[in-house]
Amino acid sequence: MKQLDNICVIIQARLGSQRIPQKMIKPFAGTTLFDLSIRKVLDSSFIPEKNFYVSVYEQELIDIANNHGANIFLRSEKSATSEGTPMTDMYEWWDKLPFEYCVLVNGCTPFLETETIDGFVKAYMETDSDGLFGVMEKKNYFWNKDGVLQTPWPESEACMNTKVVETTYEAAHCLYAGRMNTIKDGIWMGDFQTPGEIQLYPMEERECLDIDYPWQFELCETLYLESLRKETK
């Protein structure tokens, strides 16, 4: 079993988003995505504050992190501005922070709950695998680009029936965990081609809403404001 003292939780952020300029500090429901994500981790009663870092370069992000009292790992300009950066450059902290394992939290998922982050860290502590990966459960039919059905067709069914189709899992791109010293070899979490090497952590699809495009930003902000209104009724 992994020890909590050996696990760090990191939110890595930058202002260089090409699809949504300065996405992390763009006003979102009276706050920002970066403020929200930091608060979600700091609200945890399980994760020690000393184990939590934000990895940032730009001064605007540094100022927000300081306002929350979060620990800061100062990433390089190259790490924050380059596309296709090697893993060792992207995750520069891998050999500089005093931890054996790392949990990465996607800062662009405003519906991710503190309790889910806690549950993910606890599950990682209990697994024997070096890697744990957040996923969403799917019961549907999928084809490849050539039109070949990839989903096993239930023998008892004459037409598509999502109630009986085999369950598959979609990458949530929300929570990730891995051993830090494997990053030097270009490995993060483990070998996805080897069954069982990376454990899957099913999550609620709502919590995995990940903002990459302007329409997603607008939709998530609307949904988030509506959830706040319901909470205040």
Is the pLDDT higher at 160 or at 66?
66
- Picking from 205, 162, 10, the residue whose alpha carbon sits closest to that of residue 90 is 10
172, burial (CB in 10 Å: exposed 0-12, middle 13-18, buried 19+): buried
User: pLDDT per residue over 58-81, tens digit each?
Assistant: 999 999 999 999 999 999 998 898
Cα–Cα dist 66/78, whole Å: 22
User: pLDDT per residue over 122-140, tens digit each?
Assistant: 999 999 999 999 999 999 9
As a three-state string, the secondary structure of 150-176 is: CCCCCCCCCCCCCCCCCCEEEEEEEEE
Which residues are CB-neighbours of 193 under 8 A, at least 6 positions away?
A: none
Is the pLDDT higher at 65 or at 184?
65
CATH C-level class of 4-136+170-232 = alpha beta
pTM of the model: 0.93
Largest distance between two CA atoms of the chain: 60
Q: Tokens at residue 25, please?
A: 């500090």
What is the percent of the chain where pLDDT is above 70?
100
Cα 46 off chain centre by = 18
Residue 189 banded pLDDT, cuts 50, 70, 90: confident
Predicted local distance difference test score (pLDDT) of residue 96:
96
Residue indicated by tokens 């606890």: 122
| Averaged pLDDT, 114-129 | 97
